[in-house]
């Protein structure tokens, strides 16, 4: 008797990457039924119509954070195993994803075979970190600037997401559009961020993020840093 096909959902707004990965999974794993979507909204629509076994989620999408989508899937019954596939290898991202219930975390530049390994591991109920993710987590988890404090750990996932947007010099309006939130809601989050961390300007947030290795790239930081 042939095994029951496993429904795999890829959620990534980089269409070329998502479609290429989807085609690879279809070709190499005949028991996978693979669906590719390029937005969190479409991912929610798919999960409302079909039971997913595994969901591969990018962390940064135009309409939603991967952490938010991860939390959404945790409320679906039965909940799919969720694996983050991202270029963000900083320890805070990995830690937050795992605490939010991710079954795995794979670097986006990993060989596709490693993503397959992560999927099979998740289907067995086990957690999986790709080699580069595990190495980055081990190196960065205990690293602190001399005399530094990890103030960002006091932030909620949504506040942390906005914290990083502010570090990139984005306006409240731009953040509200990116995250599909009202400008008033973003403003409240910004106030809470300053209240929790004591960091009272975007330039200081940017400097803090650089010092703590929270950004994948410093190329687009606020010019005020």
What are the pLDDT digits (tens) for 54-74? 999 998 887 777 888 888 898
Secondary structure element (H or E) that encloses residue 95, with its range: helix 91-99
Give CA–CA dist 72/39, Å, rounded: 14
| Alpha carbon of residue 94 to chain centroid | 8
**Mean pLDDT across the chain:** 85
- Residue 106 gets which letter from DSSP? E
Report the topology of domain 151-211.
Answer: Arc Repressor Mutant, subunit A (1.10.10)
Give CA–CA dist 20/213, Å, rounded: 30
- CATH 3.40.50.2300 domain span(s) along the chain: 6-140
- CATH 1.10.10.10 domain span(s) along the chain: 151-211
Average pLDDT over residues 145-168: 79
Q: How confident is the model at residue 142 (pLDDT cuts 50, 70, 90)?
A: low
Residue 62 · residue 36 · CB < 8 Å: no
Percent of the chain with pLDDT over 70: 89
Residue 139 in this model has a pLDDT that exceeds 80: no
Rounded alpha-carbon distances, angstroms, from residue 181 to 64, 65, 157, 187: 10, 12, 14, 10
Burial annotation 148-185 (CB, 10 A radius, 16+ → b, else e): eeebbeebebbbbbbbbbbbbbbebeebbebbebeeee
This prediction's pTM: 0.76
Report the topology of domain 6-140.
Answer: Rossmann fold (3.40.50)
Please give the pLDDT value at position 181.
84
Please give the pLDDT value at position 219.
39
């Amino acid at each position: 008797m042939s095994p029951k096909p496993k429904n795999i959902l890829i959620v990534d707004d980089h269409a070329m990457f998502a479609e290429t990965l989807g085609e690879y999974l279809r070709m190499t794993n005949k028991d996978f039924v693979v669906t590719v979507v390029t937005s969190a909204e479409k991912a929610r629509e798919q999960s409302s119509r079909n039971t997913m076994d595994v969901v591969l989620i990018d962390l940064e999408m135009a309409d939603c954070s991967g952490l938010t989508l991860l939390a959404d899937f945790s409320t679906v019954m039965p909940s799919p195993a969720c694996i983050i596939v991202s270029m963000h290898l900083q320890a805070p991202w990995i830690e937050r994803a795992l605490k939010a219930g991710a079954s795995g975390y794979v670097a986006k530049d990993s060989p596709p075979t490693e993503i397959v390994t992560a999927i099979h591991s998740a289907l067995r109920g086990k957690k999986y970190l790709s080699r580069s993710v595990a190495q980055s987590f081990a190196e960065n988890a205990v690293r602190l600037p001399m005399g530094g404090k990890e103030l960002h750990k006091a932030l909620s996932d949504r506040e942390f997401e906005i914290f990083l947007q502010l570090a990139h010099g984005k306006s409240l309006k731009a953040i509200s559009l990116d995250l599909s939130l009202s400008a008033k809601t973003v403003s409240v989050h910004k106030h809470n961020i300053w209240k929790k961390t004591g960091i009272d300007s975007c330039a200081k947030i940017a400097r803090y993020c650089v010092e703590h290795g929270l950004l994948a790239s410093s190329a687009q930081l606020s010019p005020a840093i």
